Structure 1
Amino acid sequence: MRQSLLAGGMALLAAAGFLSACASTPGSAPQQRISMEPTSYNEIAGWAEDRHAEALAAFRRSCPKLTAGPDVAIATDGGEKTISAGEWKRICDNAGAVKPGDARGARNFFESNFRPLIVKVQGKFTGYFEPEMRGSKVPSRLFTVPVYRKPPDLGDQPYLTRAEIEAGALKGKGLEIAYVQDPVGLFEMQVQGSGRIQLAEGGSMTLGFDGSNNRPYTAIGTVLVEMGVMKKEDATWPAIRDWLKRNPQQARDVMRKNERYIFFKDTRTSAPIGAEGVPLTAQRSMAVDPTITPYGTPVWIDTRRPVYRKPGATESYRRLMIAQDTGAAIKGPARGDVFYGAGAQAADWAGRMNSDGRAVVLVPNKN
C-alpha cells in the first residue's frame, strides 16, 4: 500500500512526482459499472512476446490468500462476477501444475483459465520502488535520525504531527527500531511505504508499514510548485529529492507540510510485502484499486516507461502484472502503480513514470 502504504504493502503514493499519495483502501466489490469489452489474446499487442512464467510465479504468491479468503466480486463486461475461494483453488491448482520456468505452459495457463477484457477508459500508470539507505540499530554521530515503530497508544484519532515527532515527542519511549543518517531518505521511505536499511552492524533490515499518525497527507511536490520552486511538469521525485538535498534547512519545513508520519516494523523478510499480504515481485506486482479489481487478478498493461537516465525519453512497456497492492492515489478501473523493485534503476523508473495507456483485465473463467 504506500503511505498507508504498505499496511501490508507499499503503495502509498503515486511515486511519479509525489503529487498524490497511496494509501490502503482495500475492498471486495466493485462500486460502479465499468465499461469493458471482450478481446482475444491474439489481439493483445505484445502478449506473445511477454515472459509469462515470471507473471505466473508472481501469481502463485497470491494463491494462499486467494484460496483461503472470502468470495470476491470482480467487474466484468456483464457487470459484477463473484469468484469463490473454491474457484480460485481450481485455478491455483492449475497454476501449480505448470513447471517453474515453463514459458509455453505459463502462457497456456493464463489463456485457459482467464478471459481478457479491455477496460474502456484511458489508463494511468505510475511506479513505486523499495528505497534503500544506510543505518544502524543504535544511534551514533553518523546515524541520528530515528525510525519509529507504532506507539502503543496510537488509536484511530489524529496523533502527533510530523513536526512534533521530529522534534522529539517520542524520544526515550523505546520505540526506535533503527537510526539513519538521511532525513530525506527516511521521508522517501515513508512515502513509498517500505524500504530497506543496510545496517552498519552487517546485514539489512526490511521495513514494512506499521501504522500512521492519522494525519492528512500533503504532497510536497504540490508544495514546491506553489512555492514557485519548480513547475508542475518538472516535479518528479528525482527533481524533488535533488532540491531537498540542496536546501536542507528549507527541506525540513517543506517535508513538515506533510503532517502524516509513517511508523515501520521489521518484517524480517527478504522482499517488501504488499497490501494483499504477499511478497512483491519487481515489474510483476502492481498496486490497483481493490474496490474494482480484487487482489490476485492478472492485469495486462500497455503503456510507456521512462528510459533509464534519459530525461524526457520513454519506451513501450507491455507486460502482464498481478494485482497485489494498493494506494490512496490508486483509484479507478484502469489505474496502476507498478512496483519496480530496489536500486537506482528502479528509483529512476518509479520517480519519473506517469504515463497513459490501456489495461486489459484477465477475469477467471467459470467451469
Structure 2
Amino acid sequence: MRSKYIETAGLALTFAVHTWYRVFLGLLLVCAACSPKPPDTIPHALVKIQPDQFPDFTDDMSYASLEAAIDQTLDYLSRLDSSTPFCFGPDVFTASHMSKSVRAFRDLIKQGLSADEIRKAIETSFLVYKSVGRDGHGSVLFTGYYEPTLKGSMQRSQGCPYPVYGKPDDLISISLGLFDPRYAGEHIIGRYVDQTIVPYYSREDIDCKKRLREKGCELLWVSDRVDLFFLHIQGSGRVLLEDGTVLFVNYHCNNGRPYRSIGKLLIDEGRISREEMSMQRIRAYMRDHPDEIERVFNHDEKYIFFRLVDNGSTGAIGVPLTPGRSVASDLSIFPKAALAFVQTKKPLVGEDDTIQSWETFGRFVLNQDTGGAIRGPGRIDLFWGSSQYAEIAAGHMKHQGTLYF
C-alpha cells in the first residue's frame, strides 16, 4: 500500500509540474509575442550635476523629523548585504557606501549649520544628481498622500457593511524573470483555474459581484464606501473601532489589474473641471451622486489588499514613513532609501481649513515608498501624515517642481 501510494503521488506531482510548465511556457510565449524588443540603451533618470547647478538646500522643516527619517533609512540599509548595488543614473554605489554617506549627512545636520554652510559642505563632500523629469529638463510633478482615519468594526454590521480585505488565498504572483531574464522584475498576478492562469478578480468582481464574500479574507469592516475607496488610493490608514481602539492597516498586495484614474474619468466626462479637480472635489461629487459610485469606482479595476500592522504607514522598503519627509517614487529607476532634496509648492491653510495660497518650499526627504500611479522620472508623491492639514495638502497638491538625489 505504501509503495503504491508513493507511486500515485509521484504521478500526480509529475502531472502538476508538467501542467504548470505548460502554463508558464504559454505565458512567456504571450509576453514574447506582445512585448516590444527592449531598446539598446535606456536613458538614465538621474544626471550628475556640478556645484554651480545645486539648489540652495534651504529646508522648511525641523531637522528632528529629518533625523528620524534618516534613521529609518539606516535601519533598512543595515538589513542588506553590504555589496547590494544602488544606481544613481550611470553610477553604482554599494549599500555600505550609501550607509556611510547618509550617516555623514546626519552628522552634518546635527551641527546646527545654516543653509549656506550646509550647501558648502555638500559641495565639498557629496555628489548630487538631478532627475531628468517628465520633459527631459527636470520638471517633476509632485502630488501628495496621507493616512486617513475610517470608522470601522471587527464584525460586519448595518453600520459597517464594507469589508477591508486581506490577501486572498487563491491570489498567485508569478515572477517571469525566473523563466526568462529579459523579464526580470516583471510579475503576473492571477488565479489558477482549469490548468491555466487567469486575471484576478477586478474591483467590480470583488465589490459588486461579491467574489470574495465566502473566502474568509476580511480583516474588518468600515462604515463608508467612499472612504474605503480612498483608503485603496492612499495605501494605508487608521480604523477607529466602536470602543475607541485604533487599528492600522497597510498595503499588502494588489490584484494585478491596471490603475485607472477616476479623476481623469470625471474630467473627461465633464463632471468636474480640471482646474477644480482634487480628492475633496471627487468626494463631494460621489456624495452628491451616490447612484454613480459603482460605475465610477469600477473604472479603476485595481484593488488593494491590506494587512494589519502595529504602527502607522509603512513604506515599500519596510520602514515607517515620516510625515513630510518620506516620498514615494518609481523605485525601478530611483535608488531605494536614498536621501533627496525637493523643491515644489505647499498650501497655506486658513483657520477655516481652506487653502489661502501656495508657497514654494525646499526640503530634504528620503525615498522610502512607491505607488501604482508613481511611474517614471517625472513623478513624486510626498507623504504628509495623518493630520487635517495632511488631508488638505494631499488632496490638492499637484504642482511642478525639481528633484535631486
* TM-score between the two structures when normalised by the length of structure 1: 0.80
Q: In the alignment, what sits opposite 1:115?
A: 127
Instruction: Work out which structure has the larger RCO, using CA pairs closer than 8 Å and 6 or more positions apart in sequence.
Output: 1
Q: Offset of 1:196 from its aligned partner?
A: 0.9
**Is the Cα contact below 8 Å between 2:239 and 2:246 reproduced in 1?**
yes
Q: Distance in 1 between matches of 2:60 and 2:347?
A: 20
Query: Please, which moves more after superposition, 187-196 or 109-118?
Result: 109-118
In the alignment, structure 1 residue 164 sits paired with structure 2 residue 205 = yes
For the residues of structure 1 that align with 2:42 and 2:236, how far apart are their CA atoms?
Answer: 29
Quote how far apart the aligned CAs of 1:94 are: 4.4
Q: Does structure 1 conserve the Cα–Cα contact (< 8 Å) formed by 2:259 and 2:373?
A: no
Name the structure 2 match of 1:90: 100
Asked if 1:222 is matched to 2:290, the reply is no
Partner Cα distance (1:351, 1:295) in 2: 25
1:231, CA displacement in angstroms? Answer: 1.6
Q: Which residue number in structure 1 is paired with residue 315 of structure 2?
A: 274
State whether residues 52 and 320 of structure 1, in contact with CA within 8 Å, keep that contact through their aligned partners in structure 2: no
AA aligned opposite 1:90: K
| Alignment-derived partner of residue 135 in structure 1 | 152
Using a 3 Å threshold, how does the CA distance of structure 1 residues 48 and 243 change in structure 2: closer, same or farther?
closer
Q: Alignment partner for residue 361 of structure 2, among 317, 320, 327? A: 317
Distance in 1 (CA, whole Å) between partners of 2:159 and 2:111 is: 48
Partner of 1:345: 389
Q: Is there any run of 5+ residues in structure 2 with no aligned partner, and where?
A: 1-40, 132-136, 173-188, 191-198
Q: Which amino acid aligns with 2:49?
A: E
Q: Note the C-alpha offset of 1:123.
A: 2.1
**1:88 partner amino acid:** M
Instruction: State the Cα distance separating 1:62 from its structure 2 match.
Output: 1.1
**Equivalent residue in structure 1 for 2:339, among 285, 290, 298:** 298
Matches within 5 A, 1:229-268: 229-268=271-310
Rate the CA distance shift 1:73–1:95 in 2: closer, same or farther, 3 A. closer
Instruction: Name the SS of the counterpart of 1:115 in structure 2.
Output: coil
Change (3 A) 1:183 1:50: closer
User: Of the candidates 179, 189, 193, which is equivalent to residue 221 of structure 2?
Assistant: 179
Question: Residue 188 of structure 1: SS of its match in structure 2?
Answer: helix
2:50 corresponds in structure 1 to 38
Give the deviation of 1:93 after TM superposition: 5.2
User: Where does residue 81 of structure 1 map in the other structure?
Assistant: 91
Larger Rg, first or second structure (1 or 2): 2
Q: Partners of 2:59 and 2:203 in 1: how far apart?
A: 48
Q: Normalization by structure 2: what TM-score? A: 0.73
CA contact (8 A) 2:59 2:362 kept: no
- Are the counterparts in 2 of residues 53 and 103 from structure 1 also a CA contact under 8 Å? no
Give me the whole-angstrom Cα distance separating, in 1, the residues matched to 2:148 and 2:101.
34
What is the aligned counterpart of 2:65 among 22, 32, 54? 54
Distance 1:360 1:215, change over 3 A: closer
Aligned residues: 326
| Other-structure match for 2:253 | 211
Residue number in structure 2 paired with 1:330: 374
Post-superposition offset of 1:317: 2.1
2:49 is paired with a residue of what secondary structure?
strand
Task: Write the distance in 2 (CA, Å) between the matches of 1:95 and 1:68.
Answer: 20
Could you say if the C-alpha distance between residues 126 and 171 of structure 1 is closer, same or farther in structure 2, counting changes exceeding 3 Å? Answer: same
Alignment check: 8 A CA contact 1:98 1:105 kept? no
Whose helix fraction is larger, Structure 1's or Structure 2's?
2
Other-structure match for 2:170: 153
Aligned equivalents of 1:327 and 1:348: distance in 2? 19
Distance apart, 1:360 and its partner CA: 2.2
> Which string of whole-angstrom CA distances, capped at 9 and with x for unpartnered residues, describes residues 157-193 of structure 1?
2212212212322223221111111000000000111
- Of 46, 71, 80, 1:69 maps to 80
Kindly indicate whether the alpha-carbon contact (under 8 Å) linking 1:31 and 1:292 is maintained by their aligned counterparts in 2.
no
Cα RMSD for the two superposed structures:
2.8
Q: How far does residue 311 in structure 1 lie from its aligned partner after superposition?
A: 4.5
**Aligned CA distance change for structure 1 residues 92 and 216 (closer, same or farther; 3 Å):** closer
C-alpha separation in 1, matches of 2:289 and 2:389: 25
CA distance in 2: counterparts of 1:207 and 1:49, whole angstroms: 30
What amino acid is aligned across from residue 87 of structure 1 in structure 2?
H
Structure 1: which 5+ residue stretches go unaligned? 1-29, 362-367
SS at match of 1:178: strand
C-alpha displacement at 1:116, in angstroms? 2.9
Q: SS of 2:233's equivalent?
A: helix
Contact 2:329 2:374 in 1 (8 A): yes
Amino acid across the alignment from 2:50: P
Alignment partners' CA distance in 1, 2:102 and 2:402: 26
Does the 8 Å contact 1:206/1:268 carry over to 2? Answer: yes
Compare 338-347 and 250-259 and name the one that shifted more.
Answer: 250-259
